[in-house]
Amino acid sequence: MHTSPTARVRYEHSAAFTIVELLVVIAILGTLVALLLPAIQAARAASARAQCASNLKQIGIACHAYHEAKRTLPRYRRCPDLTSTADPVTGQAPDVDCNSLTSATTYTGPNEEWWAPYDNRPGSNVCTQLDGGYPRGILWPYVEQNPAIFACPQGFDLDPASTTYGQRFQCSYGMNYVTNGPNGRRLPDISRGNGTAKVIIVWDHGRTPGCANSKVAAPRGPWKQADGTFVLDSDTTHYPVRRHQGVFTALYCDGHVGSLQQTDLLDSMFRWSGE
């Protein structure tokens, strides 16, 4: 049976997309993508926050293993090269506990060691090590020498004014080194004080892996904003709520991990006893 030319033309026209039909399909696809994109972004954010919480739990296990071996929680940093400087708290030299420092980035010498892998030598920066010749940190033996534990998936420099903007920090977390904080303390003492379930020891942090009022020598309080509170939405360093969609993740001395807003913070959360 032969198809007439008229029928063949009609069939060819009906089998092809018109421009209008193609535009309709594109619009539908665009709508679907617009609907799915927020869900995908939310899923990725939740996954990153879960991984960050897992990292902090591992750090908590390491802190407790260190406590089991040394009978105290770790210090945030050791500065044995400050031989000519007396500790303003104890009056003893050298200032091994770094209490005389008035800047978080001061390099104190080749024997300096932080709680986490961090290269503070001249020529390095908060995102880039100079080379591999630096101490891997006090907790290194207690984390199976796994550097991934110290890297939050969202641990990037979020400050547009920073020279390292967009780069990943060497360490994504900061340890509490407030005077009268949990640094170097025994867990039973903290339990009898403000409580191990209420005192934070490590949390999401930018730049250097320690957090307190680093501009003054000890005794130091927690870092606060210019208005005397903990609240500053643009804070990308000390309590970086932009890292996890309005919250940052914190490890408590008892080993549990929780999400915090800046408005949740209290002075007592940084100290093993008192307010």
Query: What token pair was written down for 250?
Result: 């914190």
Give me the residues paired with residue 49 across strands: none
- Give the predicted TM-score (pTM) of the model: 0.86
| Cα gap 49→38, rounded to integer Å | 16
| Cα gap 211→175, rounded to integer Å | 6
> Residue for token digits 């020498």?
145
Confidence of residue 18 (pLDDT cuts 50, 70, 90): confident
Give me the residues paired with residue 258 across strands: 250
Taking CA atoms, 111 is separated from 80, 82, 83, 95, 96, in Å, by 6, 10, 11, 13, 10
Q: What is the mean pLDDT of the chain?
A: 92
Specify whether the CB–CB gap between 73 and 142 falls below 8 A: no
Is the pLDDT at 24 greater than 80? The verdict is: yes
Confidence of residue 42 (pLDDT cuts 50, 70, 90): confident
Is the pLDDT at 148 greater than 90? The verdict is: yes
pLDDT (tens digit, 9 = 90+) per residue, 153-166?
999 999 999 999 99
pLDDT (tens digit, 9 = 90+) per residue, 78-97?
999 999 999 999 999 999 99
pLDDT (tens digit, 9 = 90+) per residue, 99-124?
999 999 999 999 999 999 999 999 99
Contacts of 68 (CB under 8 A, 6+ apart): none
Confidence of residue 27 (pLDDT cuts 50, 70, 90): confident
SS3 string of the chain? CCCCHHHHHHHHHHHCCCHHHHHHHHHHHHHHHHHHHHHHHHHHHHHHHHHHHHHHHHHHHHHHHHHHHHCCCCCCEECCCCCCCCCCCCCCCCCCCCCCCCCCCCCCCCCCEECCCCCCCECECCCCCCCCCCCCCCCHHHCCCCHHHHCCCCCECCCCCCCCCCCECCCCEEEECCCCCCCCCCHHHHHHCCCCCCCEEEEECCCCCEECCCCCCCCCCCCCCCCCCCCCCCCCCCCCHHHHCCCEEEEECCCCEEEECHHHCCHHHHCCCCC
Give me the residues paired with residue 250 across strands: 203, 258
| Mean pLDDT, rounded, for 235-258 | 96
Asked if residue 219 has a cis previous peptide bond (ω within 30° of 0), the answer is yes
137 or 34: whose pLDDT is higher? Answer: 137
Q: What is the pLDDT of residue 244?
A: 94
Q: What is the pLDDT of residue 4?
A: 55
Q: What percent of the chain has pLDDT over 70?
A: 93
Q: What is the pLDDT of residue 36?
A: 75
Question: Would you kindly state where each structural domain of the chain is located, as residue ranges?
Answer: 18-73+148-270
DSSP state of 241: G
Is the pLDDT at 239 greater than 80? The verdict is: yes
Confidence of residue 44 (pLDDT cuts 50, 70, 90): confident
Q: What is the pLDDT of residue 45?
A: 81
Is the pLDDT at 41 greater than 80? The verdict is: no
Q: What is the pLDDT of residue 34?
A: 81
| Mean pLDDT, rounded, for 234-245 | 95
pLDDT (tens digit, 9 = 90+) per residue, 158-199?
999 999 999 999 999 999 999 999 999 999 999 999 999 999
> Residue for token digits 């708290």?
89
Q: What is the pLDDT of residue 39?
A: 72
Q: What is the pLDDT of residue 6?
A: 53
